Structure 1
Amino acid sequence: MASITIRNLDDEVKTRLRIRAASNGRSMEEEARTILRAAVEERAEPRNLARAIRARFEPLGGVELELPVREPVREPPIFDGASS
């Protein structure tokens, strides 16, 4: 197995990693391995704006909107050069 050294890690990041590791019952080293493993295994899906918006607001609850009644489509104007 390979090993890496991470220099200049912010104290706040280290503290949060330590807390996250403790809450998951792991060492900081194992927590870092888990995070790195998950980050490189993620497959990039094409971004879907509608799905991203729905995921952001879904926890807040739904909204029922009253949709207006649609009217029939009008005939398009004719531009044939003849004046009425």
Structure 2
Amino acid sequence: MGQILIRNLDDSVIDALKRRAADHAISAEEEARRVLTFSVGLGREDAVRRLNAVRAELGPSRGPTSLELLREDRARDDNA
């Protein structure tokens, strides 16, 4: 993971970030990470939207699901 150093932030921005962090019971650094991630479009909602677009492009899956395969393995183990 990379790091960045942001200089010359207004004190009011830092104070607001610290308040948000306290409201979420996380560190100011983690709050900054979350704010930056969301602001560049890498938040959870955007990721889900992109994944759904890929799923739509690929179409329905063929063959059994992983859940079905697990159930088959467990049934086989139970019968052994």
Q: TM-score, normalised by structure 2?
A: 0.51
Q: Following superposition, which runs of at least 4 residues in structure 1 exceed 3 angstroms of deviation? A: none
Ranges in structure 1 where 5+ consecutive residues have no aligned partner: 44-84
1:41 CA displacement: 1.2
Deviations, residues 2-60 of structure 1 (Å, cap 9, x unaligned)? 000000000011001000000011100000000000011166xxxxxxxxxxxxxxxxx
Q: Secondary structure at the match of 1:36?
A: helix
Number of residue equivalences: 43
Query: C-alpha distance in 1, partners of 2:41/2:13?
Result: 22
Higher percent of residues as helix = 2
Q: Which runs of structure 2 are paired with 1:1-84 in the superposition (5 Å)?
A: 1-41=1-41
Q: What CA RMSD, in Å, does the superposition of the two structures yield over aligned residues?
A: 1.3
Q: Secondary structure at the match of 2:40?
A: helix
Q: TM-score, normalised by structure 1?
A: 0.48
Ranges in structure 2 where 5+ consecutive residues have no aligned partner: 47-80
Residue identity over aligned pairs, in percent, reads 49
Query: C-alpha distance in 2, partners of 1:13/1:3?
Result: 19
The residue identity in structure 1 corresponding to 2:4 is: I
